[in-house]
Each structure stands twice: as C-alpha cells, then as structure tokens.
Amino acid sequence: MMLDLFGTPVLPGLHTMPDIVDRDEERMLIERIDATDPTPFKFQGWTGKRLTTSFGWAYDFEAGRPVAAEPMPDWLLPIRDRAARFARLDPLLLIQALLIRYDPGAGIGWHRDRPVYEDVIGISLGEPATMRFRRRREVGFERASAPLVPRAAYHLSGPVRHDWEHSIVEMDRPRWSITFRSLSAIGRKTLPR
Ligand SMILES: O=C(O)CCC(=O)C(=O)O
Ligand SMILES: [Fe+2]
C-alpha cells in the first residue's frame, strides 16, 4: 500500500489485512477453486485467459445484467464470514462470490466493478501480484498501486471503489482470488428477488 509520512493510506477506501487465511487453508481453497471447473471469462466473442466461477450472483457481461448463480458452497461460508468481519459488514450482505484462477499470461484490464455491487473484499492466493489503480484527471491519470500479498485480504470501498479503476498485470505464475461483494442501492433496485 502507498502510505504518506504518517502511515495513512493514500487511496481512501482501501484497507488490507495480512493472513486472513493460513497456508493450509490457502492450499485447500486453491484445490476447491480448481474443482469448481472455472470457465474462461467471455465478452463479445472474446475469450479471456482468466477462469471464473460465480456463486450467489453472476454478472452476465454478454447480457449486461446480473443473473442468479448457485448458492455459495459450505466450504466458502466460513471464509465469507471472515471477510465480512474484516470489512465490518454483516456476512449476509456479501451476496456474491467470484472465484478466479489467473493462469500464466492472464491478468485483468482496467475496470471499476459493476455498479450493482458496493463493497468488494478480495483474498489473494498463490503468486504475489500488484493491483494498479488510476483515476482520470483533467490531464492524464493519477496512478497508485498496492501489493496483493498471498493469504491477505483487501477491501475496496468509497473513493477507491467508485472513483478509481483497478487492474492486475499479466503474470508468469498462477494466482487465484476470491472476491465477495455486497449489493449497492442500484443493485437492490435492479436485482430480481
Ligand atoms: O483478482 C483479484 O483480486 C481482483 C479481481 C477483480 O478486480 C474483479 O473481479 O473485479
Ligand atoms: Fe475488480
């Protein structure tokens, strides 16, 4: 994380916590993610190298809307509860889980998460990575970055979630992530019940 002289996060709304899972849990979660048979992210005929499985809700990028997905499996619920405690949220508010496997050569391009979602809490597994952030300014972009430490959690809320875009550069070695999301006010109006 970028810090100023007083150790204050430069990106308001970004919070991190080391070791939200231990090494045994990391191994278990990676096996579980792989066992869900994650599928390539598809968008407008383009197939990405990033493999994903969604629980709770999935965002259908082709249709441009959220669709219901399988409920979160039992093995994921204690992890969701831990993520919620870290973010100081009621675990039941985390209605979506996205499991991602980044094979070598896979990354994620510049984006903001869909507006139907509010809080984003991520857990990094496998290879260390860097999350890059940028925000448009009158001239060019303001930029920042934060390390994604294996087994650590990050929470994107407020300005870093709404005003900044984020991306992860392609890596040579595999990384997995689990992200949990709560609904936004827009999402509460949009999602079918
Ligand atoms: O892999 C990660 O930690 C981030 C994934 C991400 O930005 C997303 O799914 O929107
Ligand atoms: Fe994202």
The domains of the chain, with CATH numbers, are 14-188 (2.60.120.590)
- pTM confidence score: 0.92
- Which of 51, 117, 166 has the most ligand 1 atoms within 8 A of CB, as the residue to mutate? 166
Query: Which atom of ligand 1 is closest in space to residue 177's alpha carbon?
Result: 1
Spatial distance between the Cα atoms of 157 and 47, rounded to a whole number of angstroms: 29
Q: What is the pLDDT of residue 190?
A: 81
Q: 179 CA to middle of ligand 1, Å?
A: 7
Question: 71 Cβ partners below 8 Å, 6+ apart?
Answer: 55, 56
Q: Is the ipTM reported for this complex over the cut 0.90?
A: yes
Element (H, E) at 184: none
Q: What is the pLDDT of residues 17-41, one digit of tens each?
A: 999 999 999 999 999 999 999 998 7
pLDDT at 49: 83
List Cβ neighbours of 150 (8 Å cut-off, separation of 6 or more).
26, 124, 125, 126, 127, 128
Number of residues that this document lists for the chain: 193
